[in-house]
Amino acid sequence: MPEQTATVDEAVTVQQFDRLREIRATEPERLGEVLASRTRRAPLAGDGKLFIVAADHPARGALGVRSDATAMADRYDLLRRLVVALGRPGVDGVLGTPDIVEDLALLGALDGKVVVGSMNRGGLQGASFELDDRFTAYSAGSIGASRLDFAKLLVRIGLGDPGTAATLEATAHAVTESAALRLPIMLEPFMSEWRDGRVVNDLTADAVIKSVAIASGLGESSAYSWLKLPVVDEMERVMASTTLPTLLLGGDPAGHPDETYARWGAALALPGVRGLVVGRTLLYPADGDVAAAVDVAAGLVHADEPARR
C-alpha cells in the first residue's frame, strides 16, 4: 500500500513557497534549468493509458468551481492541490500554462511525469471575443524547447462567430508545427454558440462527431494528433467517428460523483480511448478530499494495474 499522502494544507511548506518566490525574483534563469534537468518518461509507459490532471483554466479567466466563482483564485492553494494529485499512484502527469508548469517544476513535482503544455488561452471566459481563441501561451516550439512531452489546444467552433476562422487557421498551423517536431498534440474540439450572452458547447453526440471531423482534418499531417473529448450520451458513436487516440475530458463538476465515475468508466472501456484528463472535478471535490477523488479516477484509467492504486 502507498504511504499516506499529506493533506492539501501540508503538501507544500512555507519554506518551499519562499524559495519559489525568491527564485522567480532573483534567479529566473533557474526555471529553464529545472525544466531541462527534470526526469522524463515516455507518455504511454506501462499499460498504455494516461491520466492527466488539468490546471490550465485560470489563464482563460475561468476560476469558478460549482457555485464558488473564485475557487481557483488562490494560487498557493491550487499548487498544493496539484502537488497532492501528482503524488498519487496512477497519476501520469499534468496539463498547464507556463506559469503553472514552472511553479510545479520549482516545487519538484514534475519528475517522471508527462507534462502537457496548454497553447491557446486567449478566448477569455465571458469576453465578447471568447471564440477568437488566440494562441497566448505555449507554442509547439517552446514546448519542445522546455522539454515538455505533449501539446494541447482548444478548438471551439462557432459557425455564427467570425472569430472561429482565425482560430481554425491558427490551430492548423499549431498542428503542422507539432507534427514537424514529432510532438504529440491533443485537440479539444467543440461545436459552440452564443446563448444569452455566453458561450455554450453543444454536447449532443452529433455535435461532438461533427467537431471531431473538423478538428481531425486540421494541419498538414495528423500523425501526432490526439483528441480530448467530452463524455456524452452515445459515446460509442462518437468513438466510431475517429481513429485518432483519444483522451476523455472530465468536464466541470456536476451531479453525484458516483454517477460521474460510472460514465467515465464506461467510456474508458471503448476502443480508441487512451485515458482521462480531469481538472476541477478532482482538484476541488465537494468533500475536499483531493487524494481520494484522484485515486478513484486513477483506478478507472489504470483498471488493469491494481498494484498502482
pLDDT tens track of the chain, all 309 residues?
344 556 887 889 999 999 999 999 999 999 999 999 999 999 998 899 999 999 999 999 999 998 899 999 999 999 999 999 999 999 999 999 999 999 999 999 999 999 999 999 999 999 999 999 999 999 999 999 999 999 999 999 999 998 899 999 999 999 999 999 999 999 999 999 999 999 999 999 999 999 999 999 999 999 999 999 999 999 999 999 999 999 999 866 566 788 889 999 999 999 999 999 999 989 999 889 999 999 999 999 998 764 443
| Residue whose C-alpha cell is 483506478 | 299
Domain assignment present for residue 10? The answer is no
Q: Give a yes or no: residue 151 inside a domain.
A: yes
Q: What angle do CA 271, 277, 280 make, to 5 degrees?
A: 145
List the domain range (segments joined by +) for residue 73: 29-303
Is 150 within the bounds of a domain?
Answer: yes
Q: Does residue 308 lie in a domain region? A: no
Q: In this structure, is residue 76 part of a structural domain?
A: yes
**The CATH number of the domain where 170 resides is what?**
3.20.20.70
Residues 6+ apart with CB under 8 A from 41: 112, 113, 114
Beta bridge partners of 192: 201
* 265 domain residue, yes or no: yes
In a domain, 172, yes or no: yes
Is 8 part of a structural domain of the chain?
no
Domain tally, the chain: 1
